[in-house]
Structure 1
Amino acid sequence: MKERIYKSIQMFSRAIIQPVMFMTVTGLFIAIAAALKIEQMPKAVIDIGNFFFKVLSKGVISQLPLIFCVGITAALARKKKTDAAIMGVTVFLIYIYANNTILTLTDRLAKVNELGSLSGTGQAMVLGVQITDMGVFLGILLGCVSAYVFNKLCDVKFHSYISMYEGTRFAFLVMIFVSIALAVVLSYVWPVVNTGITHLVNFIASTGPFGLFIYGFANRMLLPFGLHHLLWMPLYYTPLGGTAHIAGGTYSGALNIWLAEIGNVSSLTSIDPSVGYLANFGYIALPIGIALALIKTARPENKDKVKGVLLPAVFAAVIAGITEPIEFIFLFVSPILWIAHGVIYGLGLVLSKVFGLNIMIHNIIDTIMYALIIPMNLGRQWLIPILLIILTALEYFVFVFIIKKLDIKTIGREIMADDDLAQSTGKLSESKNEALGYIVEGLGGVDNIVEVNNCITRLRIDIVDNDLVNESIIKKYKNSGIIKKNKHIQIIIGVGVDNVKENLVEYIKSHSTK
């Protein structure tokens, strides 16, 4: 039972991150558009910025419920993913029109306020249809339900006379009634749920810096299990991260609010408190502190080798915002170091809040862009170098103290041969197929592999027999760490994991005996 629950959570965590992966590109272009909209720019440039900001904010940010619905439906579908995606879109459309119809028939359609907006009414416009406002939760719920029904019914067979209604078409037929039923039920239930969410958000906000510390610490503690998405994603994209009214629009989720603010910076008088979840130096300061500490504590003859391992990992964190390569270098060596890292990670959010830093801190490129867009009196970005130095130094000195005090055998603290370096970095001279063969062999062979998926940085693989897994063989393929949880294996690949997953799937198909 525990294994089934854990597998379900893993599947959901993997599925929910798929739509979010596209938000990275959207956020970057919204930031660029916001920079083009600065008043000092020529009118033609401002017009271009307005165009891109409107297209992306209305076409992506405002349509997140639909994007999540389709993304989760397709990601959770075990087969026929194209059919599943089409069903996800259609189910979403049926739901919003059914919900609007029941609200109309029962005379519960809210009236716009004096500003011509539905903000504060518990309802919202989605694709031009007024419905009960569930935000991204709507897409998540419909996506999960659609995928469940699809997987259960997509292989149903009927008599040849009615065979045109079998399989995926039968799954869709059932979902028509399910989505209508949900539209009716949720029109009554969700306002109550929404009240509960509001109270929860207010409670989190009332805890101030302590709440941010708990969020940051828990975020790191969940990372090894691949479940941290379930913590930060709702805060970034749903009302759990706050709700704000900006330039006549209502935005829910800390990241959505931030992107709306930078796009309307000329009319801003303050930054929403939800930025506290985003002012996170875990992408820049902490990786630098970790690397300096590991180099400092390495044996003198190993320092150059250790630098060769750590510098690419720091680069991945600082430039690309991918922290797993640097974090997994010490995670499996010492849980105590990992706990200390989680404490400092949470403390970084607290210090940002206490000092009054009101700007999103991500990778160095995004951070510089945001710092240039937000007025200094609102963002207080002059604090960035100060906090950067403080947190880098804190991570460095804490790591050096713990490593030396407990004599932790972090990378480079023992005699390192060239083979050890290859093991640490995963360097390979073999061809791509040979390298993929290490993963398959280490997982117990093709017949022991059930399913291969991926999230942003890691391969997620379901297997038949955990006893057949040989980590030492898997480590011959370049990776930053391996996590075993019963019949679920995660291999930390980092940037480019999508290509590795596709190549691995093709490799397995070409070597399958079934």
Structure 2
Amino acid sequence: MNVLGYAQRLGKSLMLPIATLPVAALLLRIGQPDLADIPWMAAAGGAIFSHLSIIFALGIAVGMSKDEHGAAAIAGAVGWYIIEAVATTVDPSIKMGVFSGIIAGIIAGHSYNQFNGVKLPQFLAFFGGKRLVPIMTGLIALITGAILGFVWPPIQEGLNAFGNAVVGSGAVGQFSYGFLNRLLIPVGLHHVLNTIFWFTIGDCVQVTYTVAGSVMNTCVNPEMITSLAVGGSAPDVLNGGMIAGSEITQIADKVTNGDLHRFFAGDPNAGIFMNGFFPVMMFGLPGAALAMVLTANKGRKAETAGILGSLALTSFLTGVTEPIEFLFVFLAPALYAAHAIMTGLSLVVANALGTLHGFGFSAGLFDMVLNWGLATKPFVLVLQGFVWFFLYFVVFFFAIKTFNLKTPGREDLAPATAGSASSAATSTGTGSDYEQARQYMKSLGGYRNIKSIDACITRLRLTLENGDVVNEAQLKALGAKGVVRLGSGNVQVILGPQAEIIAGEMRKIPADDSLADVTLP
């Protein structure tokens, strides 16, 4: 498998554990004293954040296995426990965070693919097949943990140095992350980048304290822990001096890593790699959508408005941007490059203005409102959003007009489809989800051409026998926003939020279905 194809599988696998974050953030946030004040609800959300590493091990193991079997998940847990125990016994200073889960998940996934069908001699037959998977995973994890015990400390120092360099570089690091985050979206590798920034860079230790009779939390630099004690008073420097003299009731025994995790743990310095996405997703892309509607060809404005209006609303409310981004990334790649640049600039400006905000799912209205109480200067972030709406609108409008870019509503359509509501930009297939899945499968070359079917939030991730037989025109006529090829056999079909549904229906299609009765646009 080529490197991009393998990275595609890993990126897809990361989505399963990351999908647990919205519910974790929701429970943790609603349970806080400034909202519902339900301690057990906050504890439920906190439990997920506290065990992200093993959740990553479970999710990646399932995602990397060829048929997403539960045996791979069990093997992932076994591998994680062994790696953590062995590595920290060799060197107690090791703190791998989610990386131990990622490593364990990869080992377990590959072990499942390699050993799930192995037959052992009769006297060992009970331990063959899928029962062999956690055994082999454990043995491999044992060796891996011992090796990591010696090699991880310098890696850990390197990661810390990288994180400190990015944070210390200020605007340069912020811009680079925002720019690369958008630039990697077409190939689906932004999840790998996000894992580094959201779950590994920066650390703190959670401290619980009482103030005015209420139980509160904050997250402080690990170096401060030596000066704190349960039952003692919070020093003037804790949380900017706002809680000086309050009684400390609990100090966590685990370090919290990553911008996202630290934000929800109460770190007043977290959010620098999330805040700048709110102006882009809530305001910038809707501004771009308006520009594309107004520049659409005469007679197609209403049709284009219907498409882009719903996608802009999705971006504004939820922060799911891929459906709208894939409408112009291939039609006008220069505009997409401008979008990536403006995203990087948004992070720089948001941090320069002193704002901090975070999300459990994405930078949409739902997360902005829910986490408003944890944010720093969120109203300023909204004001920046209005500026970004205008910026995106102006850049897109004049670029489209000046360079005659073929954005939605301006594409060169065949005479039979020009102006038709069933064109590539508007069609979403016909009939039930199952029938649409059969249409997609036929456009992909049929059952025999598909080796594996996966999906993330907005895209089908496919491994094919022969990628050359894929009919991109038919896929787009069925409603695909774009098709990404990662080597000869790895293809991504951008569908939008229905991707998981279509993938599930495609898996139900029997091998003997010839698809002869399927009608394509």
Q: Residues 80 and 401 (structure 1 numbering): CA distance in 2 closer, same or farther, change over 3 Å?
A: closer
Q: Is the contact made by 2:74 and 2:134 (CA closer than 8 Å) also made in structure 1?
A: no
**Structure 1 residue 71: deviation in Å?**
1.0
SS of residue matched to 1:379: coil
**Relative to structure 2, which stretch is displaced further, 3-12 or 438-447?**
3-12
- Could you say which residue in structure 2 is the equivalent of 1:73? 61
- Could you say which residue in structure 2 is the equivalent of 1:448? 449
Q: Residues 421 and 343 (structure 1 numbering): CA distance in 2 closer, same or farther, change over 3 Å?
A: farther
Q: Residues 421 and 352 (structure 1 numbering): CA distance in 2 closer, same or farther, change over 3 Å?
A: farther
In the alignment, the residues of structure 2 paired with residue 172 and residue 429 of structure 1 have an alpha-carbon distance, to the nearest angstrom, of 44
In the alignment, the residues of structure 2 paired with residue 418 and residue 218 of structure 1 have an alpha-carbon distance, to the nearest angstrom, of 36
Q: Is the contact made by 1:479 and 1:492 (CA closer than 8 Å) also made in structure 2?
A: yes
Is residue 206 of structure 1 aligned with residue 168 of structure 2? yes
**Structure 1 residue 434: deviation in Å?**
3.1
In the alignment, the residues of structure 1 paired with residue 112 and residue 428 of structure 2 have an alpha-carbon distance, to the nearest angstrom, of 42
**Structure 1 residue 243: deviation in Å?**
1.2
TM-score norm. by structure 1 comes to: 0.84
In the alignment, the residues of structure 2 paired with residue 369 and residue 321 of structure 1 have an alpha-carbon distance, to the nearest angstrom, of 14
SS of residue matched to 1:475: helix
**Structure 1 residue 91: deviation in Å?**
2.6
Match of 1:397 among 394, 397, 411: 394
Q: Residues 172 and 385 (structure 1 numbering): CA distance in 2 closer, same or farther, change over 3 Å?
A: closer
Residue 435 of structure 1 aligns with an amino acid whose one-letter code is Q
List 4+ stretches of structure 1 deviating above 6 A. none
- Could you say which residue in structure 2 is the equivalent of 1:251? 256
Q: Describe how 1:253-332 pairs up with structure 2 within 5 A.
A: 253-261=258-266, 271-280=268-277, 281-332=279-330
**Structure 1 residue 87: deviation in Å?**
1.7
Q: Is the contact made by 1:276 and 1:352 (CA closer than 8 Å) also made in structure 2?
A: no
In the alignment, the residues of structure 1 paired with residue 506 and residue 422 of structure 2 have an alpha-carbon distance, to the nearest angstrom, of 25
Is residue 83 of structure 1 aligned with residue 81 of structure 2? no
Structure 2: gaps spanning 5 or more residues? 208-250, 516-521
In the alignment, the residues of structure 2 paired with residue 142 and residue 231 of structure 1 have an alpha-carbon distance, to the nearest angstrom, of 19
In the alignment, the residues of structure 2 paired with residue 348 and residue 60 of structure 1 have an alpha-carbon distance, to the nearest angstrom, of 30
Residue 242 of structure 1 aligns with an amino acid whose one-letter code is G
In the alignment, the residues of structure 2 paired with residue 222 and residue 75 of structure 1 have an alpha-carbon distance, to the nearest angstrom, of 20
In the alignment, the residues of structure 2 paired with residue 419 and residue 427 of structure 1 have an alpha-carbon distance, to the nearest angstrom, of 13
Match of 1:498 among 495, 500, 517: 500
**Structure 1 residue 209: deviation in Å?**
1.0
SS of residue matched to 2:429: coil
Q: Residues 488 and 345 (structure 1 numbering): CA distance in 2 closer, same or farther, change over 3 Å?
A: same
Residue 420 of structure 2 aligns with an amino acid whose one-letter code is D
Q: Is the contact made by 1:425 and 1:479 (CA closer than 8 Å) also made in structure 2?
A: no
Identity of aligned residues (%): 26
- Could you say which residue in structure 1 is the equivalent of 2:81? 93
In the alignment, the residues of structure 2 paired with residue 97 and residue 202 of structure 1 have an alpha-carbon distance, to the nearest angstrom, of 28
Structure 1: gaps spanning 5 or more residues? 110-121, 123-131, 262-267
In the alignment, the residues of structure 2 paired with residue 274 and residue 358 of structure 1 have an alpha-carbon distance, to the nearest angstrom, of 5
**Structure 1 residue 478: deviation in Å?**
2.7
**Structure 1 residue 479: deviation in Å?**
2.7
Residue 55 of structure 1 aligns with an amino acid whose one-letter code is A
**Structure 1 residue 355: deviation in Å?**
1.2
In the alignment, the residues of structure 1 paired with residue 260 and residue 42 of structure 2 have an alpha-carbon distance, to the nearest angstrom, of 15
SS of residue matched to 1:447: helix
In the alignment, the residues of structure 2 paired with residue 350 and residue 153 of structure 1 have an alpha-carbon distance, to the nearest angstrom, of 48
Residue 258 of structure 1 aligns with an amino acid whose one-letter code is F
In the alignment, the residues of structure 1 paired with residue 85 and residue 345 of structure 2 have an alpha-carbon distance, to the nearest angstrom, of 46
TM-score norm. by structure 2 comes to: 0.83
In the alignment, the residues of structure 2 paired with residue 235 and residue 385 of structure 1 have an alpha-carbon distance, to the nearest angstrom, of 23
**Relative to structure 2, which stretch is displaced further, 401-410 or 483-492?**
483-492
Residue 388 of structure 1 aligns with an amino acid whose one-letter code is G
**Structure 1 residue 354: deviation in Å?**
1.1
In the alignment, the residues of structure 2 paired with residue 95 and residue 305 of structure 1 have an alpha-carbon distance, to the nearest angstrom, of 55
SS of residue matched to 2:491: strand
In the alignment, the residues of structure 1 paired with residue 366 and residue 341 of structure 2 have an alpha-carbon distance, to the nearest angstrom, of 26
In the alignment, the residues of structure 2 paired with residue 82 and residue 448 of structure 1 have an alpha-carbon distance, to the nearest angstrom, of 26
Give a deviation string over 1:39-62, Cα, whole Å, max 9, x none: xx7xxx52x2x22112221x2111
SS of residue matched to 1:419: coil
In the alignment, the residues of structure 1 paired with residue 75 and residue 432 of structure 2 have an alpha-carbon distance, to the nearest angstrom, of 40
Q: Is the contact made by 1:425 and 1:480 (CA closer than 8 Å) also made in structure 2?
A: no
Give a deviation string over 1:187-226, Cα, whole Å, max 9, x none: 3322222111111111111210111111111111111111
Give a deviation string over 1:8-49, Cα, whole Å, max 9, x none: 111111112211012122222222223xx11xx7xxx52x2x
Is residue 56 of structure 1 aligned with residue 53 of structure 2? no
Q: Is the contact made by 2:463 and 2:489 (CA closer than 8 Å) also made in structure 1?
A: yes
SS of residue matched to 1:410: coil
Instruction: Identify the structure with the greater helix proportion.
Output: 1
Q: Residues 418 and 300 (structure 1 numbering): CA distance in 2 closer, same or farther, change over 3 Å?
A: closer
Q: Is the contact made by 1:425 and 1:478 (CA closer than 8 Å) also made in structure 2?
A: yes
- How many positions carry a matched residue from both structures? 461
Q: Is the contact made by 1:447 and 1:512 (CA closer than 8 Å) also made in structure 2?
A: no
Residue 204 of structure 2 aligns with an amino acid whose one-letter code is A
In the alignment, the residues of structure 1 paired with residue 106 and residue 337 of structure 2 have an alpha-carbon distance, to the nearest angstrom, of 33
**Structure 1 residue 422: deviation in Å?**
4.0
In the alignment, the residues of structure 2 paired with residue 305 and residue 80 of structure 1 have an alpha-carbon distance, to the nearest angstrom, of 40
Q: Is the contact made by 1:221 and 1:342 (CA closer than 8 Å) also made in structure 2?
A: yes
**Structure 1 residue 299: deviation in Å?**
3.0
Is residue 143 of structure 1 aligned with residue 131 of structure 2? no
**Structure 1 residue 99: deviation in Å?**
4.4
Give a deviation string over 1:55-101, Cα, whole Å, max 9, x none: 221x211101111111111111114711111122223233344445x
SS of residue matched to 1:460: strand
Q: Is the contact made by 2:300 and 2:419 (CA closer than 8 Å) also made in structure 1?
A: no
Match of 1:411 among 375, 388, 408: 408
Residue 181 of structure 2 aligns with an amino acid whose one-letter code is N
- Could you say which residue in structure 2 is the equivalent of 1:127? none
Residue 41 of structure 2 aligns with an amino acid whose one-letter code is F
Match of 1:12 among 10, 13, 16: 10
Is residue 220 of structure 1 aligned with residue 225 of structure 2? no
Give a deviation string over 1:395-445, Cα, whole Å, max 9, x none: 110111111111112222368845255421223343434322221111111
Give a deviation string over 1:248-294, Cα, whole Å, max 9, x none: 34310110011111xxxxxx7xx215534443123211211111110
In the alignment, the residues of structure 1 paired with residue 469 and residue 100 of structure 2 have an alpha-carbon distance, to the nearest angstrom, of 41
- Could you say which residue in structure 2 is the equivalent of 1:119? none
In the alignment, the residues of structure 2 paired with residue 246 and residue 279 of structure 1 have an alpha-carbon distance, to the nearest angstrom, of 25
- Could you say which residue in structure 1 is the equivalent of 2:472? 471
**Structure 1 residue 501: deviation in Å?**
1.1
**Structure 1 residue 384: deviation in Å?**
2.2
- Could you say which residue in structure 2 is the equivalent of 1:112? none
Is residue 32 of structure 1 aligned with residue 30 of structure 2? yes
- Could you say which residue in structure 2 is the equivalent of 1:488? 490
In the alignment, the residues of structure 2 paired with residue 367 and residue 340 of structure 1 have an alpha-carbon distance, to the nearest angstrom, of 25
